[in-house]
Amino acid sequence: MIAAEDMAACRAMIRTGSLSFHAASRLLPARVRDPALALYAFCRVADDDVDEGLDKAHAVLRLRERLDRIYAGAPEPRPSDRAFAAVVQDFDMPRALPDALLEGLAWDAMGRRYDTLSDLHGYSARVASSVGVMMCVLMRVRYPDALARAADLGLAMQLTNIARDVGEDARAGRLFLPLDWLAEAGIDVERFLADPRPSAALAGVVRRLLGVADDLYRRASAGVAALPADCRLGIAAARHIYAAIGDEVARAGHDSVTRRARTSRGQKLVLMGQALAASALTHVMPQPAQLHARPVPEVAFLVEAAGQRSARQQRSETLLAILAQLEARDRRGAV
């Protein structure tokens, strides 16, 4: 059980740091909402520690230590860590799922770029689909098809984030767009990073990425019907709110270099109304065929891991190898 003071701190963290999720979470039942806020608070703190710290490798290694303590039942004295430790215990959260998030953050720390869409899916699976699958665990849902659709939603949301943040990322020296797409569009990566400017070619790449996200949103919508009835509205709202961010990027001519798309409070209210209508249909319509679509290959390991229990957890060899690389860089004093 999450302590009241830790829960209050997690709510405040999400209220100021993740407006879209905070809006959608209010539509979840309390039995899921509070653990979900604790989960997102921990993920938010972890992401900020790695993203904003000067020594990113050290931040990832510290996060591994914090996860070790959480799974040992002795979290560090931080509200987010104590709350997530309670979630891990109450829901028997498979260690492989937060470890996948940790691996994605390690890739961020290493400044990894992604040659193909498949490579980008692999990254998005770790930093976003892992959270979607953990949300299913909080709903006591471990049905493989439902988990696969939750992973689709995570992929779609992350691709939307990447499309929205092209300029912001470039100015920080980061690039997440598939390198082969950029090459096909005739975009010189190093020249763009040195002087990020919008162009018709770049807009075409952003449009293409949002097209992939739209396909994933449609697949994800099929999974709403497989969730508990009182959880469907909150997840449908999150799906509609995030998809609308992509719509705003499109309205700006797919220029996400000179502006950062966002939805207004009024838009969110309209989108919640759309989500209400969509979730209501799940009570009367038969399950859509897309519910049973095979998982995207890059997320299949998450679907499998979510069906396991903590006694059977083992860290992946790839994560251990990446952490070993970060440890070596950290010892050398690399940033």
Contact between residue 88 and residue 309 where contact means Cβ atoms under 8 Å apart: no
What is the model's pLDDT at position 291? 84
* pLDDT mean over 206-210: 98
What is the model's pLDDT at position 333? 64
pTM over 0.85: yes
What is the model's pLDDT at position 54? 72
pLDDT tens per residue across span 269-309:
776 677 666 666 565 455 666 788 899 999 999 999 997 75
Who wins on pLDDT, 66 or 316? 66
pLDDT tens per residue across span 145-156:
999 999 999 999
Amino acid at 287: Q
pLDDT tens per residue across span 211-224:
999 999 999 999 99
pLDDT band for position 313 (cuts 50, 70, 90):
very low
pLDDT of 87 above 80 = yes
Contact between residue 313 and residue 50 where contact means Cβ atoms under 8 Å apart: no
Q: Which CATH number describes the domain made up of 94-331?
A: 1.10.600.10
What is the model's pLDDT at position 263? 75
What is the model's pLDDT at position 284? 44
Give SS3 for 186: coil
Contact between residue 102 and residue 60 where contact means Cβ atoms under 8 Å apart: yes
What is the model's pLDDT at position 22? 65
Contact between residue 202 and residue 181 where contact means Cβ atoms under 8 Å apart: no
Taking the CA atoms of residue 48, residue 49, residue 53 and residue 58 in that order, the dihedral angle to the nearest 10 degrees is -150
- Give the separation between CA 251 and CA 261, rounded to whole angstroms: 9
Pick from 191, 185, 184, 167: which is nearest to 176 by CA? 167
* pLDDT mean over 202-229: 95
Contact between residue 129 and residue 186 where contact means Cβ atoms under 8 Å apart: no
pLDDT tens per residue across span 23-63:
667 788 999 999 999 998 998 888 888 877 678 888 899 99
> What is the rounded average pLDDT for all residues in the chain?
88
Conformation bin of residue 303: beta by default, left when phi > 0, alpha when psi is -120 to 50: alpha
Cβ atoms < 10 Å from Cβ of 69: 14
Two structure tokens written together for 267:
């838009």
pLDDT tens per residue across span 238-273:
888 899 999 999 999 999 999 998 877 777 677 667
pLDDT tens per residue across span 104-155:
999 999 999 999 999 999 999 999 999 999 999 999 999 999 999 999 999 9
Buried (b) or exposed (e) across 292-326, using 16+ Cβ within 10 A?
eeebbebbbbbbebbebeeeeeeeeeebeebbeeb
Q: For 249, what's the count of Cα atoms within 13 Å in the CB-facing half-sphere?
A: 32
Task: Report DSSP letters for 231-244, one per residue.
Answer: GHHHHHHHHHHHHH
Percent with pLDDT over 70 in the chain? 83
Pick from 266, 202, 278: which is nearest to 239 by CA? 278
